[in-house]
Amino acid sequence: MNSLKRKDLLDIQSLTTEEINLICKNAKFFKEVFTRSVKSVPVLRGKTVCTLFYEPSTRTRLSFDLAAKRLSADLINVTVSTSSVVKGESLIDTVHTLEAMKADYIVMRHGAALAPHFLSQNIEASVINAGDGFHAHPTQALLDAYSILEKRGTLEGLRIGIVGDIQHSRVARSDIEVFKRLGAEVILCGPPTLVPDDFKVYGVDISYNLDDILPELDVINMLRIQRERQKSAFFPSIREYHRQFALNAKRLERCKQDIIIMHPGPMNRGVEMSNDVAESPNLIMNEQVTNGVAVRMAIFYLLAGGAPLEEMSEAK
C-alpha cells in the first residue's frame, strides 16, 4: 500500500490504522528531503492547491503552503477576510469559483463543524480539513503522533496527558483518536467545566488535578485556552486557571525527566505554561511545526496516488 485510497482527508475516524502508519512513514521520508540542498520534489507539478481559511491560522496555513511549494504545486490562497465572502458570497458559490479555476486540492479551515465534509461532497477536488469548529484537526493530530513516534519509536503503552480546554478543542478530539489508535493511553485533565464527563465515551481517563497525574505521564500536550470560542466563564480567572493547570518549573520537577511537552500553538505565554517551561528542552513545539510540513507533504503525496519513494529520492 503506497497511497491513500480516498479523495479527501477529513478526520482521523475515517482513516485506517494502516493509513495513519503510512502517512507517518512517508513523513519521515519527506523530512529527510528538508536536509537536501534542493528541497523540492516534482510530485504535484502541474497541480493546483488552494488554501481556503475562514478562521485565522499561522502554523497550519504556512505549513500547507510550504508543503505544496516543496511538492512543486501551483498555490492559490483565499483569505476570506479580503475575499467576496465579506460581500455575502456563500460557501457553495466560492467553491464553484475554485472549481472553475480547476483547483485539484482545497485545504479548508472553517468555524463550523463538518464544513469540509460538505465541501467534499460538492466538489471533485480533494478536500483536506485544516480544522473545523470543535470537531476535528486531523493533520495536527497526525503531526503530533509523528512527533512522538520520532522521539520514542512507538506510541504503544505510552501514557499521554492532554491538558486544558478539551471542550472547545478540535485538536484534543483528533489527538485522542490517533493516540489511542496507535496504542497509547490517554488521560484528559482540566477544570470540570472544560473536561466534560462525556469524553469517557472515547475510552480515556479523566482527572481534574494536574499534580496527581504528572509523575505517570510520558507525554503532556498543553492545549491553548480558546477564549474566542468560550461563550461564558469556564473558570474564575486566568490567574486561577494558571495556578491549577499551568505547567511550571515546580511541576516539571515532578515529571519524568524525559517527558515530552507538546503544544499545538498558538501559545498563550504565561497561561498554559510558565515562561521557564516554554524555554525547556523538553518542549518540542518548534519540532512539531517542522514535522507539520513533512506530514502535510506526505498527505498531498499519498492523496495524489503515491509513487515509489526511490524515484523521489533521485528527484533532486
- What is the smallest separation between the CB atom of 2 and ligand CP, expressed in angstroms? 28
Q: Considering beta carbons, is residue 43 or 299 the nearer one to ligand CP? A: 299
- What is the smallest separation between the CB atom of 109 and ligand CP, expressed in angstroms? 7
Q: Please name the residue that has the C-alpha cell 470540570.
A: 192
Could you say which residues in the range 53-72 bind ligand CP, by CB under 6 A?
57-61
CA 109 to mean position of chain CA atoms: 12
Helix %, strand %, coil % for the chain, to 5? 40, 15, 40
Could you say which residues in the range 114-173 bind ligand CP, by CB under 6 A?
131, 140
Interacting residue with ligand CP among 196, 266, 269, 311 (CB under 6 A): 266
Q: Is 265 in the site for ligand CP (CB under 6 A)?
A: yes
Ramachandran category for residue 6: left, alpha or beta (phi over 0 → left; psi -120 to 50 → alpha): beta
Give the DSSP H or E segment for 179. helix 170-181
Strands 126-132 and 105-110: parallel
- What is the smallest separation between the CB atom of 23 and ligand CP, expressed in angstroms? 17
Q: Considering beta carbons, is residue 265 or 270 the nearer one to ligand CP? A: 265
Q: Considering beta carbons, is residue 99 or 150 the nearer one to ligand CP? A: 150
Give the three-state DSSP class for 134: coil
Q: Which of these, 289, 257, 11, 266, lies nearest to 127 by C-alpha position?
A: 11
CA 251 to mean position of chain CA atoms: 26
Q: Which stretch binds ligand CP (CB under 6 A): 18-26, 111-119, 173-181, 259-267?
A: 259-267
Give the DSSP H or E segment for 208. none
Q: Considering beta carbons, is residue 70 or 109 the nearer one to ligand CP? A: 109
Q: Considering beta carbons, is residue 266 or 305 the nearer one to ligand CP? A: 266
- What is the smallest separation between the CB atom of 171 and ligand CP, expressed in angstroms? 7
Cell numbers representing residue 115 in the block:
464544513
Residue partners of 5: CB distance under 8 A and separation at least 6: none
Q: Considering beta carbons, is residue 265 or 306 the nearer one to ligand CP? A: 265
Cell numbers representing residue 186 in the block:
490517554
- What is the smallest separation between the CB atom of 60 and ligand CP, expressed in angstroms? 3
The vertex-149 CA angle with 208 and 179, nearest 5°, equals 40
Q: Which stretch binds ligand CP (CB under 6 A): 7-15, 21-29, 84-92, 260-268?
A: 260-268
Q: Do the beta carbons of residue 119 and residue 264 sit within 8 Å?
A: no
136 DSSP assignment: B
- What is the smallest separation between the CB atom of 265 and ligand CP, expressed in angstroms? 5
Q: Which stretch binds ligand CP (CB under 6 A): 51-59, 68-76, 157-165, 203-211?
A: 51-59
Q: Do the beta carbons of residue 94 and residue 84 sit within 8 Å?
A: yes
Q: Considering beta carbons, is residue 43 or 168 the nearer one to ligand CP? A: 168
Interacting residue with ligand CP among 176, 214, 264, 271 (CB under 6 A): 264
Q: Which residues bind ligand CP (CB under 6 A)?
A: 57-61, 131, 140, 264-266
